[in-house]
Every structure is written in C-alpha cells, then in structure tokens.
Amino acid sequence: MVTLIKGHTIHQNIPVLTGKCPNCETLYSADHERYRDTSTVQNNFKRVYLNSAKYMKIGQLLWADRKFSTSAINAMYNFHASASAYAEYWNNTFGTEQILITRAQVWQAFVQQSIRTIAEESQIDVEFDDGLNIKEVTTQAFSLLGEDGIIRAADEHACDECSQKRKDTSDVVFHDPAAVVGVDATDDNIPGLAAPPEPIEVEIPEVTSDDGMDVDTT
C-alpha cells in the first residue's frame, strides 16, 4: 500500500499492481516497464519510462499524478522556486500531520516529468539501465535528450525579438533619477520640480523603559 497525491489531494492505502510476463520476465508497472536486454552479453535489465503514465513513483511509498509533477515544474520555471521551496510551500498548503513531502521527492517529480515531456516531443519512450539513482538518471537523460544543449522547441528559430546583438549599455539612459523607463522618452519630457523641497523636521520621542539600568551619578 502506498500514498498517492492526486492533484493536491492525498489518498492513503492505495494498492499498486505490477504485471509480469511468465516467458520474458518483463515487469509492467504504472509508470515504467522493466525488461531484460538480451542484445547484450550481460543481459542487463532496462527500464522504459512510459510517456503515457498517469502516475509516477516519486518516493519509496509515495506516488503522484502528472498534475502534481507539472505544478512542480511550473513553480520552478515561473517563480524560480527551488525544490526545497516548493516542498515547503506544498507542505504548508496541502500537507497534513501524517503526510509531508521532501525536497528529494519534488526533485524526483521534476526530473521524471521533464524526461517524459521532452521524450514525448521527440516521439520516443526513453530507456535507461534499471536501478539508477536520480543523479544517474539525469545524466543519461541529458545524454539522450539534451542534444548538446539545444532546446528542441527553439531549434532553427530566429526572429528580431530573440536574436539581437549584444550591447554594452542600454539604448535608453536617463540622467534624471525621477525618470521612468518606458514613460519618459527623454530628459526633456520629465517635468521639473515647482519648488525646492522643504526640509522636514522630525521629532523623535524619548522612549523610556522599566527595564532601564540605574546609573549612579554621584
């Protein structure tokens, strides 16, 4: 029995079923398939990360749906949140006394969702060696899907907005600190002060304390 996060709702004591082929010993799980690679001498086991998976294992006894993993990605990209920050946010908002998520589980969801998103764009189900830790999975995923740092969605794309020459200084430079970029085109358009600012006198009240130290002035 495992705990399932569906959306942001926690479901406990959920059974996880795994099928097994009696002939080739392939295992069929909710988020991956595990088979013996007979094309190699070692006959090592391979793991296929299914793009069609609706739920993913992100902890020893914790599963989550794609909505949870997508929200983790959106938080990291849109708000520049770290895995630790998102875990803290989720725990404060949706967590219970019994169920709290960790930074490692958020990072697991982020990596697995990213792999499936990019793999689906490439129209493949990625295969890695079975039994890898999350760092090794990330390394093999970049080797297979990274394409030397090329963002596939932006490949062979160029326009005047995204392709511009580097500039050492901005085209818009104001010498008046009252200027607002995007509103004041030049220094000439900035209205001057009607009169010099008047000095403001601020009286700071004396604060007495009952805990003050008695001082002998004699």
| Domain annotation covers residue 179 | no
| Domain annotation covers residue 43 | yes
pLDDT tens digits, residue range 187-204? 566 666 666 667 777 776
0.75 exceeded by pTM? no
| Domain annotation covers residue 69 | yes
- 56 near 73, Cβ under 8 Å? no
Structural domain count of the chain: 1
Number of other CB atoms surrounding residue 91 within 10 Å: 14
| Domain annotation covers residue 188 | no
| Domain annotation covers residue 37 | yes
State the residue range of the domain holding 66.
Answer: 2-152
pLDDT tens digits, residue range 75-92? 998 988 999 999 999 999
Q: Which pLDDT score is estimated for 167? A: 78
